[in-house]
């Protein structure tokens, strides 16, 4: 019924399909300054749901939100050598303010380890102040030469956690806790995206980290997307910013710090992990609108039934939107399909006479007829089913497209369309460079059982290699 | 019992008292770049509560959240003449990015009328797209020469609403709706601050507005604080950014736009509208922690009772924090007083034996003894009473310190310690200049019945004059 030609098919041109979805689902636009992004209301409503879910988990993990300045003195970045080297090419610099040239240029934060390190040093006195567990929701700027909405933008929105600990073990354990209980739980349970967990190989680490944990997801074109990362910073930033604490024995000791982040890139991940040729597919637990109630005709009886239904759904805790706009019915259906709303309930005069409504699942197109009185309860049940089905579909996609291979050459071949898994022992510096020349990277190292290793030096590690965003 | 000497008394030095509260309640610190601010976890928790309450009201009023870029091409600001003149002296300018000098300098947004105007012009086609009701939560930068934490900072956090309408009347009605149903309702019902509502005199208007509505509150030193403003922008920005719509008759018509904002300045307002010599006083509906449960001693029986109590309070929907830290009891009590938590419940072994706890109201110091089993219900009732009492106390303070005066000279005199109310007819350009020389300004114009006039040209208007932050 709905027109199928609104979007470029995925199989024809996946990047173009992505652009089409972002535009037609009214998710985002390019901003006037190169690489910046306007997040439109529907895209932002999804981001707000992501924020709420991640923020709840961060608070459960014991971290508190705070806010640090956008502007950082240029000299701060230089204090950690690898950090400044990693970020210098991407910085935006303020040289004039208040009508005058500044004595010291100011950097627009690309990330906040440095400025937060400065304040941790002030706030931490003794072991009683540890661990110090902070998080902030903020915008950051990293100049992008090849920007892409949500995936790589010069300004993006994110949360960045920053913690300080008395021991290496405590820091490591907390980075792991965040990685599993915040990021991976959100990704699996809410975003419905199965992940490969592991650590980054040294050359892919965050600038200044001693270890970087990552969650890698597979998109519908077989490429990888890094969805969230958690960094063990060792004592690198503590040394640079003099973050000391007095131990129980009265000694001045250097702290161990961590940082961890997830961003508006997750919206890009949502689009590419679940979307199909009809548009987005938003998992019910994430969806700003879980059910759209559509009045088939603009008649008083139909409108009243829709309003009653909408009230029942909301009372049942279902996020429901009522569509009684007067445009073409077919066009409205297509628009809700593109936006990926999980369930569509159509209320028409003939069905009403029979006391039923007609229901369509976005994920598989299945059509159902429900008695009017039972819609709210049936919807709640079916939404839970759709959530599970979307995860299962994504997991199957990932597993079918992840192959064990015995060599780097075959890994490069498999990585043209999916993920390759091979022994990390086969990948030396020259093999990694060889892959990188083919735009293939080591996404993560993991143990044979899929768990997260402590270091790349463990024996018998596997690595996942793929093309990526 | 609690030490009374932690803060400078208000009567001795109000600005110093304010600084002391901000520091000792761990609300905020100065950032490393002049005028920037670090919002610490307790200050941010209050801001999050403010955000939630205002955001809920904005959504009820029909506006949708979106996000527009931090960076604005410098040329955009020049398109509206008054706007660029008003903001030029406060701009921060990015001249270098990605390692190169930029062809066109980029301005860090001081407010977003211009960039949002550009996109409204793209998104609005016909009268069916109107009204377009947008809001964003963001950071903005206005270079400050005399910064003060929360009140005037070079970077601050805020929400800015931006709407486009088909008619002047619709735009005006919506600005009024936001002003009353979002801002004034939040200020009165949640922040417990009584307000004078009115319009700004022409010289105090937002740069580019044809009319500015304001909510003015009285602080504990008798000065005024502008708590939120809503602007009718007429067709000024619509003309500058060519925001046209096609009318039902098929004609291209220029839109009317509005903008409206409230910021982290509200945290400063909270501190100064309610605080006393012992610190903050946070109204219960706003408080991140409404009740603190304090274990008087670190004993198993006491700790268990505290945990049960805490669970009961949370089950009852009370935002409760459990303090079982082992520091000095007196010091802990003082800290919670400074933070302004409305109710303190102390659980000690002797009281436990009698099945009671001892309760202290932060606002008036009243001490009560409650049976353990009834704490959650009693707390809920008492929190509602405290909310009303704080508003009543603030209203009485404002009314006692607001005097009707018959002349500008007497207005200047009264404005040394409070608000003066006089006929707007008495205030010509030279009288307004005379007051401004004495650091006294016209805060708002209102009708005799306190309602908001449509324009400064109405007959029989009154004006409120005061010193201000």
For an interface test with A, give the residue of B46, B60, B67, B122 to mutate (most A CBs within 10 A): B67
Q: At what angle do helices B300-315 and B375-400 cross, to 10 degrees?
A: 70
What's the average model confidence in pLDDT over B434-462?
96
Rounded CA-CA distance B346/B292 in Å is 8
User: Rounded distance, CA A452 to CA A175, Å?
Assistant: 12
DSSP per residue, B374-426: GHHHHHHHHHHHHHHHHHHHHHHHHHHTEEE-SSHHHHHHHTTTSEEEEEGGG
As a CATH number, domain A14-274 is 3.30.930.10
The interface predicted TM-score (ipTM) is 0.96
Chain B residues with beta carbon closer than 8 angstroms to that of A99: 88-89, 91, 143
Beta bridge partner(s), residue B344? B292, B360
Asked, as a colleague might, if the bond just before A223 is cis with ω within 30 of 0, I would say: no
Architecture of domain B400-466: 2-Layer Sandwich (3.30)
Asked if A71 lies within 8 A of B155 by C-beta distance, the reply is: yes
- In the DSSP assignment, the letter for residue A180 is I
Judge contact between B163 and B112, C-beta under 8 A: no
Quote the DSSP letter at residue A386. Answer: H
Is there a cis peptide before residue A178, judged by omega within 30 degrees of 0? no
User: Contact at 8 Å (CB) between A164 and A131?
Assistant: yes
Architecture of the domain spanning A402-466: 2-Layer Sandwich (3.30)
**Are the beta carbons of B93 and A96 closer than 8 angstroms?**
yes
pLDDT by residue for chain A (469 residues), tens digit each? 444 568 999 999 999 999 999 999 999 999 999 999 999 999 999 999 999 999 999 999 999 999 999 999 999 998 988 888 889 999 999 999 999 999 999 999 999 999 999 999 999 999 999 999 999 999 999 999 899 999 999 999 999 999 999 999 999 999 999 999 999 999 999 999 999 999 999 999 999 999 999 999 999 999 999 999 999 999 999 999 999 999 999 999 999 999 999 999 999 999 999 999 999 999 999 999 999 999 999 899 999 999 999 999 999 999 999 998 778 899 999 999 999 999 999 999 999 999 999 999 999 999 999 999 999 999 999 999 999 999 999 999 999 999 999 999 999 999 999 999 999 999 999 999 999 999 999 999 999 999 999 999 999 999 999 999 9
Whose CA is closest to B69, among A37, A144, A137? A37
Confidence of residue B5 (pLDDT cuts 50, 70, 90): low
* Residue A99 Cα distances to A33, B73, B76, B93, angstroms: 22, 17, 18, 9
- pLDDT, position B147: 95
Nearest C-alpha of chain A: how many angstroms from B396?
35
CATH of B291-389, one of 3.10.560.10, 3.30.420.40, 3.90.550.10, 3.40.50.800: 3.40.50.800
**Whole-angstrom Cα Rg for chain A:** 25
Instruction: Indicate the burial class of B395 (C-beta count within 10 angstroms; 0-12, 13-18, 19 or more).
Output: middle
pLDDT for residue B199 is more than 90? yes
Taking the CA of residue A14 and the nearest CA in chain B, the distance in Å comes to 26
Asked if residue B233 lies in contact with residue B117, where contact means CB atoms within 8 angstroms, the answer is no
Among A77, A67, A232, residue whose Cα is nearest residue A135? A67
Per-residue pLDDT at A2: 44
**pLDDT band at residue B1, thresholds of 50, 70 and 90?**
very low
Q: Compare all CA atoms of chain B with the CA of A134 and give the residue at the minimum distance.
A: B41
Distance CA A66, CA A45 (A): 23
Point out which residues pair with A323 in neighbouring strands.
Answer: A294
| CA A340 to each of CA A151, A187, B65: distance values in angstroms, whole numbers, following the listed order | 19, 18, 19
> Residue A98 and residue B90: Cβ atoms within 8 Å?
yes
Q: How far is B241 from chain A (nearest CA, A)?
A: 13
- Is-same-fold flag (B14-274; B400-466)? no
> Which pair of tokens denotes residue B366?
């009243």
Cβ–Cβ < 8 Å for A188, A194: yes
Contact list in A for residue B96 (CB cut-off 8 A) is 92-93, 95, 105
Q: In the prediction, which pLDDT does A285 show?
A: 98
Instruction: Identify the pLDDT of residue B80.
Output: 85
Contact assessment for residue B69 and residue A36, using Cβ atoms and an 8 Å cutoff:
yes
Distance CA A269, CA B414 (A): 61
CA A272 to CA A267: how far, in whole Å?
Answer: 9
Q: Among A52-61, B50-59, B79-88, B165-174, name the one with the lowest average pLDDT.
A: B79-88
Residues in chain B, total: 469
What's the pLDDT band for B82 if we cut at 50, 70, 90?
Answer: confident
The span from the first CA to the last CA of chain A, in angstroms, equals 34
pLDDT above 70: residue B2: no
- Residue B68 confidence (pLDDT) above 60: yes
CATH superfamily placement of domain A291-385: Anticodon-binding domain (3.40.50.800)
3-state secondary structure A322-344: EECCCCCHHHHHHHHHHHCCCEE
A181: three-class secondary structure by DSSP: helix
| DSSP letters spanning B264-314 | THHHHHHHHHH-BTTB----TTT-S-SEEEEESS--HHHHHHHHHHHHHHH
* Contact (CB, 8 A) for A339 and A279: yes
Region B227-236: what's the mean pLDDT? 97
Q: What phi and psi, each to the nearest 5 degrees, are found at residue B333?
A: -60, -45
Q: Does B41 contact A96 at a Cβ distance shorter than 8 Å?
A: no
pLDDT digits (tens, 9 = 90+) for B55-67: 999 999 999 999 9
CA B411, B414, B415 angle in degrees (round to 5)?
80
- Please give the structure tokens belonging to residue A26: 């009214």
Residues of B in contact with A41 (CB under 8 A): 64-66, 134
Q: How far is Cα B185 from Cα B187, in angstroms, rounded to an integer?
A: 6
Give the Cα separation of B388 and A359 in Å (integer).
48
User: What is the Cα–Cα distance from B181 to B161, expressed in whole angstroms?
Assistant: 14
The tokens 């436990």 sit on which residue?
Answer: B352
Report d(CA A90, CA A96) in Å as an integer.
19
| Residues of chain B with C-beta less than 8 angstroms from the C-beta of A97 | 91-93, 143, 154
Task: Please tell me the total number of residues recorded for chain A in this structure.
Answer: 469
CA of A33 vs chain B CAs: smallest distance (Å): 6
The shortest C-alpha distance from B462 to chain A (Å) reads 36
Angle at A43 between CA A41 and CA A44, to 5 degrees: 60
Q: Report how far apart, in Å, the C-alpha atoms of A459 and of each of A356, A450, B93, B132, B365 are.
A: 62, 14, 52, 59, 64
- Phi–psi pair at A413, nearest 5 degrees: -65, -50
pLDDT tens by residue, B357-371: 999 999 999 999 999
Q: Domain segments of chain B: what residues?
A: 14-274, 291-389, 400-466
Contact across the interface for A122 and B41, Cβ inside 8 Å: no
**B32 closest CB neighbour out of A39, A73, A88:** A73
Beta-strand runs (E) in A113-210: 132-141, 155-165, 196-199
Q: Considering only CA atoms, which of B223, B133, B112 is closest in space to residue B182?
A: B133
- CB contact under 8 Å between B38 and A66, yes or no, is yes
What pLDDT does residue B84 have? 86
Tokens describing residue B202: 């022409």
Q: What is the pTM of this model?
A: 0.97
Rounded Cα–Cα distance for residues B349 and A192 (Å): 50
Indicate the SS3 state at residue B54.
helix
CA–CA separation, A11 vs A5, rounded Å? Answer: 13
Rg (CA), chain B: 25
């Amino acid at each position: 019924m709905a027109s199928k030609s609104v979007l470029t098919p995925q199989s024809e041109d996946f990047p173009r399909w992505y652009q089409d979805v972002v535009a037609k689902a009214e998710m985002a636009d390019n901003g006037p300054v190169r690489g910046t992004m306007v997040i439109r209301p529907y895209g932002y409503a999804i981001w707000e749901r992501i924020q709420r879910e991640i923020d709840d988990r961060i608070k459960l993990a014991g971290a508190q939100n705070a806010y640090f300045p956008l502007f950082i003195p240029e000299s701060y970045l230089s204090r950690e050598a690898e950090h400044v080297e990693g970020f210098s090419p991407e910085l935006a610099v303020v040289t004039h303010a208040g009508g005058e040239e500044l004595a010291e240029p100011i950097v627009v934060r690309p990330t906040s380890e440095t400025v937060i390190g400065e304040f941790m040093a002030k706030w931490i006195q003794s072991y009683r102040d540890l661990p110090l567990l902070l998080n902030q929701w903020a915008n950051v700027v990293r100049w992008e030469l090849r920007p892409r909405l949500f995936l790589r933008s010069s300004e993006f929105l994110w949360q960045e956690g920053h913690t300080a600990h008395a021991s290496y073990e405590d820091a490591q354990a907390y980075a792991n806790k965040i990685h599993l209980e915040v990021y991976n739980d959100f990704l699996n349970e809410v975003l419905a995206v199965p992940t490969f967990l592991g650590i980054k190989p040294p050359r892919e680490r965050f600038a200044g980290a001693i270890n970087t944990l990552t969650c890698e997801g597979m998109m519908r074109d077989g490429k990888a997307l890094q969805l969230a990362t958690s960094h063990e910073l060792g004592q690198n930033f503590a040394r640079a910013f003099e973050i000391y604490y007095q131990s129980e024995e009265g000694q001045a000791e250097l702290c161990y710090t961590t940082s961890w982040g997830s961003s508006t890139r997750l919206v890009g991940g949502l689009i590419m992990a679940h979307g199909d040729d009809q548009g987005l597919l938003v998992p019910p637990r994430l969806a700003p609108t879980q059910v759209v109630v559509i009045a088939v005709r603009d008649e008083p009886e139909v409108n009243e039934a829709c309003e009653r239904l909408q009230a029942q759904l909301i009372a049942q805790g279902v996020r429901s939107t009522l569509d009684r706009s007067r445009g073409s019915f077919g066009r409205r259906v297509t628009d809700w399909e593109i936006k990926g709303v999980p369930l569509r309930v159509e209320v028409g005069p003939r069905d009403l006479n029979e006391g039923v409504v007609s229901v369509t699942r976005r994920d598989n197109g299945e059509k159902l007829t429900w008695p009017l009185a039972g819609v709210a309860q049936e919807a709640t049940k079916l939404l839970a089913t759709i959530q599970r089905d979307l995860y299962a579909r994504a997991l199957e996609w990932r597993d079918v497209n992840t192959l064990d291979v015995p060599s780097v050459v075959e890994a490069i071949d498999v990585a043209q369309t999916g993920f390759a898994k091979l022994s990390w022992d086969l990948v030396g510096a020259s093999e990694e460079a060889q892959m990188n020349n083919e735009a293939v990277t080591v996404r993560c190292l993991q143990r044979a059982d899929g768990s997260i290793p402590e270091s790349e030096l463990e024996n018998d590690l596997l690595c996942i290699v793929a093309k990526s965003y």
